[in-house]
Amino acid sequence: MKGNLKSSHNKFKKNSKKTLYQGLEPDKKVKPNQKPTYLEELSNHLHLPPDILAGAPIITATGRNEICLENYKGIIEYNGNLVKVQTKACRICIEGKQLNIQYFYEDEMCITGYIQAIYYQ
Is residue 85, in this structure, part of any structural domain at all?
A: yes
DSSP string covering 78-89? E-SSEEEEEESS
| CA dihedral over 93, 96, 97, 99, signed as positive or negative | negative
Range of the domain at 84: 55-120
Is residue 73, in this structure, part of any structural domain at all?
A: yes
Whether residue 6 has pLDDT greater than 70: no
pLDDT at 22: 54
Considering its fold, how many domains does the chain have in total?
1
Whether residue 118 has pLDDT greater than 60: yes
**Continuous segment of H or E residues that includes residue 10:** helix 9-20
Is residue 79, in this structure, part of any structural domain at all?
A: yes
- Which CATH number do you get for residue 78? 2.60.40.2000
Is residue 50, in this structure, part of any structural domain at all?
A: no
For 16-75, how does the pLDDT look when each residue is reduced to its tens digit (9 = 90+)? Answer: 555 555 555 555 555 566 777 776 777 777 777 766 667 788 999 999 999 999 989 999
The model carries a pTM of 0.60
